[in-house]
Structure 1
Amino acid sequence: MQLNFDRRVADSLPQSWVDRAPAAMRPYLRLARYDRPVGFWLLGLPCWMGLVLARTGSGLGWVDLYYAILFAIGAIAMRGAGCTYNDIVDRDLDAQVGRTADRPLPAGSVSLKQAWIFLLAQCGVGLIVLVQLPLLAIGVGLGSLVLVAAYPFMKRITWWPQAWLGLTFNWGIPVAYTAAAGTFDLAALALYAGAVFWTLGYDTIYAHQDAEDDALVGVKSTARLFGENSQYWVAGFYGVNAILVALAIWFSQATPFVVLPFTLYTAHLFNQVRKLDITDGAQCLALFKSNRTSGLLLVLTFIVGAVA
């Protein structure tokens, strides 16, 4: 089959290193979303949250730096693998949505066979990372495969695919926490549950970019479900997140010094709610991307709890 030349995707960065990469590599880099790096952050940051929360009161050591690097590599590999798998499943739907029609598979710049090979290669990298962890964490990590495999089909069967994404994207919390602490307790559970609501909020914002196209092709989402009431729902999700993260801090018996970074984190979330205009796709994308800052503020909160 003759493949088409590389095509830039609508919501990729205006300019990135992907555009300067060798032409033969670019479709694969776009397939793994290297031109949209915020997803790597949103998958990797929960790992760091779980890792640092597990060290509350005991301090961070060199092994934690090693784990942090492993989780960063794993997040890059598995986010790329997840996006590749998602595009394989959604290739026909993506061709009908304006924002996704230029993705490598619907655009024809990568064949289905090539996409499967690339998917397996990325999973191999993720497996190499996973086996570096303690046995319990390996078992927990393998549990994510069911969530990842089912995710692309959720938008076809439920109005709440963002909830499933929250369960999937934040699975790094139990993996990292069990790797560092050797157990999974109430603090970790509260953080994981809170992170699910965080994802519900930011991915509802993100989904408003596609709400009209999704309605035409029959794709379900919380953006379509909530419609004009989305701002209130996102505020509610972020409010529940703040309560659950506060509980995680309480259960971990962290120092009171965490109050300042935690307050900044919460303020950043509700500033997104204040600015949200669901009719402005560019603004929705910008607010979604700003959750990298939200995640970094929460990691900082737990670092203060670990070292203070």
Structure 2
Amino acid sequence: MNTLSRPDLSDIKRGDWVDRRLPLAWRPYTRLARLDRPVGIWLTLFPCWAALVQASHGFPELRHLIVFSLGALLMRSAGSAVNDIADRKFDGHVERTRFRPLASGQINVPQAVLFLVAQLALAASLLFFLTPYTRLIAICVLPLVFVYPLCKRFTHWPQAVLGAAFNWGMLMAWSEVAGEIPLGAILIWLGAIAWQIGYDTVYAYVDIKDDTQLGLKSTAILFGERGKAIVGAFYALTVIAWSAGGWIIGMGLFYALGMLVIAAHLAWQTWRSDLSRPELSYRLFLANILTGVLLAATSLAGTL
């Protein structure tokens, strides 16, 4: 029988490549940027790549791929730093986050803030490669990045705010390539938010006991025992929004076929889920990397 003990749920694994290969001084900053846990990078990148493909109606220009990939990496890392700074007093009491650099005292707040400023400065340098309209769209995401870590203190819906910020690059991709953000693109972005509410709720069930004791809020706490059905409903909304949006922007037959594959994959996740098992919830959260891959591939197929 394959079982995982509670300590294995920590999102920092001792003895990994960071501990083995990086200088001691670099390690806490690498972990602060979540470079040792790249799942969030992939979950940001694949929807962004999908939007670039849709807006380009085929393979995007190489410069767009480079700029948007770097932007997704830097903003996801900066957002992680903002989150850890805001949650440093909570993280030490949560099983999954207790070894994070700020919570464990490996670095202090001023050091983390300087690192955050450096990341934001690098991200800002990418704006010079974008149109004025896209720069404006990019700046508009900053309030979401800074508000998200505070949301769990006053609303059960931090996952919705995170979904909007995480997938903001989809809107930027359209504004940069097409010079506009059509209704279909907005629907696909809303579908990505519904998708993130679904998979991030599954992830939140890993922390539900600790979050409840700390007085924090999440969709997992709000949904409770109804979580499996509600997550399934959000996944259904995802497929509906992605399908309708794709039809509006002129995706072809293969896009519709790809949506059927995505629907089957999300239905399997819902059927497989057991929200009382944190280790399974974490594995199903990771399975959404495949959902992102399928979305990008389906978008490319839809342009054929």
Q: Do both share a fold (TM > 0.5)?
A: yes
Distance 2:56 2:70 in 1: 21
Q: Verify the 8 A CA contact 2:9 2:95 in the aligned structure 1.
A: no
Once the two structures are superposed, the pairs formed by residues 113-262 of structure 1 within 5 Å of their partners are 113-262=110-259
Contact 2:243 2:256 in 1 (8 A): no
Alignment partners' CA distance in 1, 2:266 and 2:251: 22
1:10 aligns to 2:7 (yes or no): no
Partner of 1:46: 47
Structure 1: gaps spanning 5 or more residues:
1-7
**Contact kept in structure 2, 1:74 and 1:130, CA below 8 Å:** no
Alpha-carbon distance change, 230 to 9 in structure 1, aligned in 2, over 3 angstroms: closer
Which residue in 2 is equivalent to 1:76? 73
CA distance, structure 2, for counterparts of residue 51 and residue 14 of structure 1 = 37
* Equivalent in the alignment of 2:4: none
For 1:193 and 1:17, the matched residues in 2 are separated by 36
- Structure 2 vs 1, CA of residues 127 and 136 (structure 1 numbering), >3 Å: closer, same or farther? same
Q: CA offset at residue 196 of structure 1? A: 0.6
Q: 1:50 and 1:92 mapped to 2: Cα distance?
A: 37
CA distance 1:269–1:16, shift in 2 (3 Å): farther
Mapped pair 1:263 → 2:260? yes
Shift of 1:46: 2.2
3-state secondary structure, aligned to 2:220: helix
Per the alignment, in what secondary structure is the counterpart of residue 164 of structure 1? helix
Alignment of 1:296 with 2:267, yes or no, is no
Distance in 2 (CA, whole Å) between partners of 1:32 and 1:302 is 29
Residue type of the alignment partner of 1:112: V
Q: Supply the AA of the counterpart residue of 2:71.
A: G
The amino acid of 1:124's aligned partner reads A
Distance 1:13 1:217 in 2: 24
| Distance of aligned partners of 1:253 and 1:167 in 2 relative to their CA distance in 1, 3 Å threshold | same
- 1:9 Cα deviation from its structure 2 partner: 8.7
TM-score (norm 1): 0.92
Q: Aligned pairs, how many? A: 296
Which residue does 1:55 correspond to in 2? Answer: 56
Q: Note the aligned Cα RMSD (angstroms).
A: 1.6
Following superposition, the deviation at residue 16 of structure 1 comes to: 4.4
Matched-pair contact (CA < 8 Å) for 1:272–1:287: yes
Kept in 1, the 8 Å contact 2:148–2:162? The answer is yes
Cα offsets for 1:87-132 (capped at 9, x unmatched):
1111111122121111100100011111011101111111122321
Deviation at 1:15, TM superposition (A): 6.3
Offset at 1:53?
A: 1.4
Spell out, residue by residue over 1:180-218, the C-alpha distance to the aligned partner (whole angstroms, 9 max, x if none).
110011111110111110000000000000000000000
* Residue identity opposite 1:234 in structure 2: V
Shift in CA distance, 183/13, structure 1 to aligned 2, threshold 3 Å: farther
One-letter amino acid of the counterpart of residue 137, structure 2: V
- Superposed CA deviations along residues 161-186 of structure 1, whole A, max 9, x for unmatched, are 11111111111111111111100111
| Partner residue in 2 for 1:31 | 32
SS in 1 for 2:181: coil
Question: Is the Cα–Cα contact under 8 Å of residues 12 and 99 in structure 2 kept in the other structure?
Answer: no
Structure 1 residue identity aligned to 2:265: H
Counterpart in the other structure of 2:83: 86
How far apart in 1 are the matches of 2:163 and 2:185? Answer: 15
Query: Taking structure 2 as the reference length, what is the TM-score of the superposition?
Result: 0.94
Q: Secondary structure at the match of 2:257?
A: helix
- Is residue 9–residue 279 contact of structure 2 (8 Å, CA) maintained in 1? no
- Counterpart CA distance in 2 for 1:23 and 1:111 is 15
What is the Cα deviation at residue 142 of structure 1? 0.6
CA distance in 1 between partners of 2:173 and 2:199 (Å): 22
2:263 partner letter: T
Contact 1:18-1:34 at 8 Å conserved across structures = no
